[in-house]
Homo-oligomer: A and B are copies of this chain.
C-alpha cells in the first residue's frame, strides 16, 4: 500500500524530552528541535501536530520514565519505605550530572508556564505531579500497614512532605551540587529536622 515511517517515534520523543527538559518550553525553539531530532518541519508537524503537543507528549514521556524508575526501586528493595528512599536518592543524586537538568522537568514546567499563556500545558504538568504524589501516598500507606511508619501518621501529608523535600533539594542542587551536602539532606528527610 504505502510507505512506513522510518524514524523511531520513541527515540524522537526522547530527544525532544531531553531538549525541553534542559532548555524549558519557551527556551526551546522548533528549529532547535528539528536539529536535535533530525527531522524536517513537515515530518514533525505530521507526527506531533504542534510545538505544544510535542511538549505535552514529552512531559508525559518524562513522567512515565520517572514512574518506571520508582517501580524498579520498589522491586529492588525489601520494603515500600526502603524503595521510596532509594528512589529519592536516585532522583536527587544520580541527576546531579549528565542529565539535561538536575531539576525535575515537571517542576521546571510548573515554574515556567502560566495560566494566562499556556493553561493546557500547565494543567497537564500539575496533573502529572499530583499523580506522583498519589503514588507516594500509596507507598506510605503500605509502609504504615507494614508497621514501618507509625500508624498515627497521615499518608497524604507525608506524601506532600516528601514531594516538598524532593522539589527543594533538586532545585537547591542547581546552586550547590556538593554531593556530601545533598546526601546529608536526603538522609535527613526521614530522620527529622536538622534543628532537632
A39 located at the interface, meaning its Cβ lies under 8 Å from any Cβ of chain B in the complex: no
Main secondary structure of the interface of A (DSSP, over half): helix
Contact check, B185 vs A193: say whether CB atoms are below 8 A apart.
no
A37 located at the interface, meaning its Cβ lies under 8 Å from any Cβ of chain B in the complex: no
Contact check, B117 vs A175: say whether CB atoms are below 8 A apart.
no
Contact check, A181 vs B195: say whether CB atoms are below 8 A apart.
no
| Contact indicator per residue, chain A 130-173, by CB within 8 Å of chain B (1) or not (0) | 10000000000000000001000100011011011111110110
| Given A193-B193, A195-B153, CB of A181 within 8 Å of CB of B168 | no
Contact check, A27 vs B112: say whether CB atoms are below 8 A apart.
yes
Q: Which of A18-26, A45-53, A59-67 contacts B (4 or more CB under 8 A)?
A: A18-26
